[in-house]
Amino acid sequence: MIDVDDETFAAAVTDGIATVPDELMKMADNVAIFVEDEPGPDHADPALTDEENAGLLGMYLGTPLTERDTWWSAGSLPDQIVLFRGPLTRMCDSLDQLRDEVAVTIVHELAHHFGIEEERLHALGWG
């Protein structure tokens, strides 16, 4: 577990985002990244146990690109990737590890934005 203040965590998130490949970030359409302290009931995945939900590192909230049609973009709010500070800091032992895990979590959640399901992500090693 790494104990960091808000400013250090925000810098680690910024650094983690910067390591996500540019071509991947450019393909994202109307996505905002947020940080919350812990996953709450609004973020619960019914396919997971309470313990698994409490350990979520991030979550994609939105409409995957594969499910959008022409009406979608007209005035739609951005999709969201939410990073969960508590689980991320509890699993990391250093700032470098935290930056790496932020990047991996963002790539994982962006994959959902692109319509890639959890099973496929696990098969690709991004589980």
Can you spell out the DSSP letters for the chain? -----HHHHHHHHHHHHHHS-HHHHHH--SEEEEEESS--GGG--TTS-HHHHHT--EEEES--GGG--TTTTTTPPPEEEEEEHHHHHHH-SSHHHHHHHHHHHHHHHHHHHTT--HHHHHHTT--
Q: How confident is the model over 17-72, as pLDDT tens digits? A: 898 888 888 888 788 999 999 998 888 778 888 888 788 999 999 888 788 776 65
Q: Residue 126 — pLDDT band, cuts 50, 70, 90? A: low
Using the predicted structure, report yes or no on whether residue 10 has a pLDDT greater than 90.
Answer: yes
Assigned CATH for 6-66+76-123 = 3.30.2010.20
Residue 116 is predicted with a pLDDT of 81
Domain ranges of the chain: 6-66+76-123
With the C-alpha atoms ordered 106, 107, 110, 112, is the resulting torsion angle positive or negative? negative
Rounded to whole angstroms, what are the CA distances from 125 to 5, 64, 82, 93?
31, 20, 21, 22
